[in-house]
Structure 1
């Protein structure tokens, strides 16, 4: 199977690797850049693993896809609070980060389509330098560095964004903008929410009203579907970052299998996995992990992780880190005691056989969609279960034993599927998950030896022209490797 090299992107194996240059402390910038973080970012990169010119190509591709007389506006993610004034660790809005690489809150960008050689004009809005705030919250990038490093044509304070947006909305025929939280049923899909989201106290009521009026126009177009189309095909550099994210998670899986034993809590297993990922440079987990022991595995999204592992149980662990802006997503099922029982081995083999067959179909030449792959997964699992003595009736598989979908796109977001089409044929460069599972409730119509077993096996797969590449190859999956990891036979320490 093909492998991913490191040519052209300069991606380090680990984010904790020491650089030759001396780190600049404290940093002068609002995010890791080469002068302050040479152990993370190389000279030609804007963010770890992604060169500055790739962000330029992304913006150019977007603007080239738009009609003339178009303007694009995006805003950064808001700071989210856990309780009172205690905030969560900030994570940038995915589409905003994809186009700019800018990681500071209280920022926005406007791209105007023009006829010069670059094809667009970029104005980046941010907080700029403020020594009083930086005393408490750390450095922010200066407007001069926004121009020089992020290649903006103009750098303005964030409070200027509403008036600039209002002015440009009246000039351009096509205004591409997404309202914050537009996919949430709880949030009003209004232009007013955009402005309140940006700077609720910065503008007068009358100015808010005038900007709202300028955006409430028929020519306003959604932006997210256009960016989703670009994000669906991963560049070579993105593929390498995603392989590194999967490697970090995969190695953490192998060591966590060794760590697990009867009597340990599910929460300790989750904490061990997160610790190992952080040690390897992960900035955060990509999602709340599932660590489901025994019958808890029948709960598809079990995240309580608050019970104790018993001898003889299976552990279904669905977990993945976020590494340099890209998510990973892996599920493995393994025996707490280190060895599968006969029944556990049989059901595991059934799921694994189907999963490997499905991965083999993740190619462009196969001309399959996610919907078609899911139908194939149902057919394969039905055959495997019938061989194990299941007598399946209509609805038993899809409604009870295998109630979830097979796959989803993955990238900067764990589920890059809000604007994707499951009926679209797979193309080379897409990254998807393949995750069949069987969850057997303790009811008479299913063989008793499999009652209360939940088994899911999930890999990240890079779709190729003729051959798929499994990005999550570092996570043990074959029975001999899973048992070897659990028993410490692979030469891996648990820490």
Structure 2
């Protein structure tokens, strides 16, 4: 709040339950900004932060929630009462969610500025109920465009300003506590990658491998997958976001697994590629080592002292990959295959509460100490005549989660093997490694 003007309000609303069909709901996940600001993991809630220099923290925090309801709790479980919201979540004041629109309207009348996020595609119509108003403001609400006008009317001449960029600036640099949580999330996922290499065998279904990875993460304390896992065998590895996971794994294929868990609200994001039968062929090893050589060089650039941005690291990845591919027989002549065909994605992205941490992140800005980013170069060779036939239908991506340091990066996913000898050792169960 220190960068906001005196008397300003920051307004953030919790996520809402989402439904597959009828009354069949998805597992609830809190709105990312609301989770960051409050740590409160229930739907139908809101927070108003008022900038007050006279307050001990420099701001006054009002939270709004459903509170206890004996009848509903028989179906949905216990909710946090208002008293506990104050005691455990740092609120100066807690009130029922039903009064949120009225309190916000009253506070806005005296505010210097109001920060909150306008729903995409908003059109003025007539407001309805407190709950529909709340649902409409929520990033995950998805209600019709009917719930917003009375708030805008209450602002008078004040124009609402977006909150998300302000929160994104805070979320970009991880605190020591956040770093430890992300280290644990990455370690859970790294161990799961290691054991999943041991588990995988030719003839298995990709979805069985995905289920094994998710089981290992859940057993070790993860609350959910961070995203739908990619388990791509053979030519499926050429599809960047392959999530069908419905093919059988053949004996001579490579298996690309892009999977991570969510632990205490923070995501992990790791990719490893390994041979289904536990042993690299010479061709697989040659292409794999080319990508690995580049990936390790890129990780070394993840420091504040490098002065580099994610975009600059990406361009460096293109230069390095081109050199490595030319070294092993690829030719990039005019009119033939281009690097864009083989490497169609960006080298990495910030990660944190969200897998892709913020749409407001400036990829051209120098990376800073305390950021966590992924480094994930990949090569995906389609069966085209301009590319060496020995590498056709091989897709390789190696992705680590990296904590940016002042002069030295810290690889949070260090326990996921990526050297060929270590991968083959994991696949073959050397040193007593088991699949469980």
TM-score (norm 1): 0.83
Inter-partner Cα distance in structure 2 for 1:490 and 1:451: 33
Deviations 1:379-427 (A, max 9, x none): 0000000001100135844420000000100001000130100000011
Name 1:447's counterpart in structure 2: 388
Which contiguous aligned blocks of 4+ residues in structure 1 show a shift greater than 4 angstroms? Answer: 189-195, 206-209, 215-218
1:78-227 aligned at under 5 Å gives the runs 78-116=16-54, 117-180=56-119, 182=120, 188=122, 196-198=132-134, 209-215=149-155, 218-227=158-167
1:272-283 aligned at under 5 Å gives the runs 272-283=212-223
Deviation at 1:178, TM superposition (A): 1.2
Deviation at 1:151, TM superposition (A): 2.3
Deviation at 1:209, TM superposition (A): 4.4
Out of 406, 417, 428, which is 1:487 matched to?
A: 428
Inter-partner Cα distance in structure 2 for 1:387 and 1:226: 46
Inter-partner Cα distance in structure 2 for 1:327 and 1:95: 14
Name 2:177's counterpart in structure 1: 237
1:23-422 aligned at under 5 Å gives the runs 63-116=1-54, 117-180=56-119, 182=120, 188=122, 196-198=132-134, 209-215=149-155, 218-393=158-333, 396-422=337-363
Inter-partner Cα distance in structure 2 for 1:190 and 1:473: 51
Inter-partner Cα distance in structure 2 for 1:228 and 1:192: 31
Of the structure 1 ranges 416-425 and 212-221, higher mean CA displacement relative to structure 2 is found in 212-221
Name 2:407's counterpart in structure 1: 466
Indicate if the aligned counterparts of 1:195 and 1:208 stay in contact, CA closer than 8 A: no
Inter-partner Cα distance in structure 2 for 1:199 and 1:291: 35
Gap change, CA 1:212 and 1:264, over 3 Å in 2: same
Deviation at 1:191, TM superposition (A): 9.0
Inter-partner Cα distance in structure 2 for 1:289 and 1:258: 18
Deviations 1:438-479 (A, max 9, x none): 000101111000000100000000000000000001111000
Inter-partner Cα distance in structure 1 for 2:15 and 2:79: 16
Deviation at 1:280, TM superposition (A): 0.4
Indicate if the aligned counterparts of 2:290 and 2:324 stay in contact, CA closer than 8 A: yes
Inter-partner Cα distance in structure 2 for 1:178 and 1:373: 31
SS at match of 1:167: helix
Structure 1 gaps, min length 5: 1-62, 201-205
Inter-partner Cα distance in structure 2 for 1:266 and 1:363: 36
Indicate if the aligned counterparts of 1:71 and 1:175 stay in contact, CA closer than 8 A: yes
Inter-partner Cα distance in structure 2 for 1:390 and 1:285: 37
TM-score (norm 2): 0.94
| Aligned CA-pair RMSD | 2.0
Indicate if the aligned counterparts of 1:408 and 1:417 stay in contact, CA closer than 8 A: no
Inter-partner Cα distance in structure 2 for 1:351 and 1:237: 33
Gap change, CA 1:207 and 1:231, over 3 Å in 2: closer
SS at match of 1:173: coil
Deviations 1:119-148 (A, max 9, x none): 111110000111111111111111111122
Q: How many residues align?
A: 424
Structure 2 gaps, min length 5: 137-145
Name 2:143's counterpart in structure 1: none
Name 1:57's counterpart in structure 2: none
